[in-house]
Amino acid sequence: MILTEVSAPPSAAIPVRAFGQHLRLGSGFSDDGSEDAVLELYLRAAMAAIEARLGLALLARSFSWTVTRWQSETSQGLPTGPVQSVDEILMIAADASETQVISTAWHLVRDARRPRLLGGGGQPLPPIPRSGQAEIRFTAGFGTAWESVPADLRQAVFLLAAHFYEHRNEDITARDTMPFGVLVLMESYRAMRVGGGL
């Protein structure tokens, strides 16, 4: 099973200015914006760390997931959520030829933390070719705007990004420790994700 992020959130969706205010960085000076690239880097790193821990996508973007067999004949959990849409399912044969699966052959069960694919009309999922694979292309995330991310997760990202920023010149152990406050803010999402969709 291979999950690939097809598109990253655009820079315009990353709350650099709000994060600068969170850090209480000065504003109104001639060098305003001089640290924007660094702030964006730490915000993206914090989002990636939180997403990896929770199995969630915060900002909506495209993914591709390749599997060689279904979890069961009728159901397949998806590796991240919340899934906004399944855009396409391809069956890829051993000779690399591709066949698009018609949308009536499957059904998306929308669930913020445990999204699943079911066979359409109560039927099994389409069979994966022998020695082949299925590629599921989907869009996942709470939304394209930062404000669409739940407030507690937005705060967790800011706290973790601030931790990375404040410890940027220290040894790797201090930088890589997740602060307790971040863990507390993530806990309700983490507990509900146990067992995941896989």
> What pLDDT digit, counting tens, does each position of 120-169 carry?
999 999 999 999 999 999 999 999 999 999 999 999 999 999 999 988 77
pLDDT confidence tier of residue 27, bands split at 50, 70 and 90: low
Q: What is the mean pLDDT of the chain?
A: 89
pTM: 0.84
In terms of domains, do 74 and 21 share one? no
Residue 48 counted as domain residue = yes
SS3 at position 180: helix
Are 139 and 57 spatial neighbours (Cβ–Cβ below 8 Å)?
no
Q: Supply the range of the domain harboring residue 180.
A: 7-55+145-191
Into how many domains does the chain fold?
2
Find out whether the peptide bond into 15 is cis, omega within 30 degrees of 0: no
E strands along 25-178, which residues?
A: 61-67, 75-77, 83-92, 98-100, 106-109, 116-119, 133-140
Q: Does the residue 11 lie in any domain?
A: yes
Residue type, 153: L
Q: What is the pLDDT of residues 172-194, one digit of tens each?
A: 555 567 899 999 999 988 755 44
pLDDT at site 195: 44
Residue matched to tokens 């044969």: 93
Same domain, 49 and 72: no
pLDDT tens digits, one per residue of 36-52: 899 999 999 999 999 99
Tens digit of each residue's pLDDT (9 = 90 or more) over 69-127: 999 999 999 999 999 999 999 999 999 999 999 999 999 999 877 899 999 999 999 99
130 domain-assigned:
yes
Residues forming beta bridges with residue 166, ordered by sequence position: none
* Tokens linked to 151: 């407030």
Same structural domain, 50 and 77: no
